[in-house]
Amino acid sequence: MVCKITSTKRQSLGLRESGFALVEALFAIGITGLLLGALATVMMLSGRSFAALSNYVDLDDKNRVAIDQLTRDVRGSNRVLSCTPNSLTLEDADGLPLIYSYNSGLRTLSRIKDPNTTVLLHDCESFRFEMCLRTPQSGTYALETTSNPSLCKVINVSWICSRSILGIRQNTESVQTARIVIRKQGT
């Protein structure tokens, strides 16, 4: 059996064998900070994109519901009673008035059928009704406009809705236009 005596004194370690040096620690902290900053930026941009996509879907859904309701009501009405760029009054199938009214101050489109008032659109930047005849203008697809409700056969409607994302108004508008033929009025 071989016995060796070992020393209990510590030998000094060289610079290479010691722990992290200050410079190495600073580089590690700097690189970690850059990676965390890049990750935070990617998360913020993807969150903003998700909010924009969600906003588009919601605007499109509300616009589709509004145009469907308006189309049903115009097609099923007996006649147009009056029309301005901001309001349309129809005689509904039951003989009572049905009013669509745009309020530019509140940025809303409302459907009024006594005694009920329903807000169909919010965040509406502009809205326009227009009465037209059935005959197109020569050489175009545009219809002849009229100011006489008894001659009106077609209602042109257009609007723009927009919202802001995280406090910034950007690329979130939805433009809708429709040409709706009144089935019962005129020939």
Measured CA to CA, the distance from residue 173 to residue 56 in angstroms comes to 8
Task: Classify 144 in phi/psi space as left (phi over 0), alpha (psi -120 to 50) or beta.
Answer: beta
- Per-residue model confidence as pLDDT tens digits over 12-48: 555 555 567 888 889 999 999 999 999 999 999 998 8
How far from 172 is each of 53, 78, 142, 179, CA to CA, in Å?
Answer: 9, 37, 28, 24
For the stretch 57-107, pLDDT in tens is: 888 888 899 999 999 999 999 999 999 999 999 999 899 999 999 999 999
Query: Does the pTM exceed 0.75?
Result: no
pLDDT band at 137 (very low <50, low <70, confident <90, very high): confident
How is residue 181 written in tokens?
């033929």
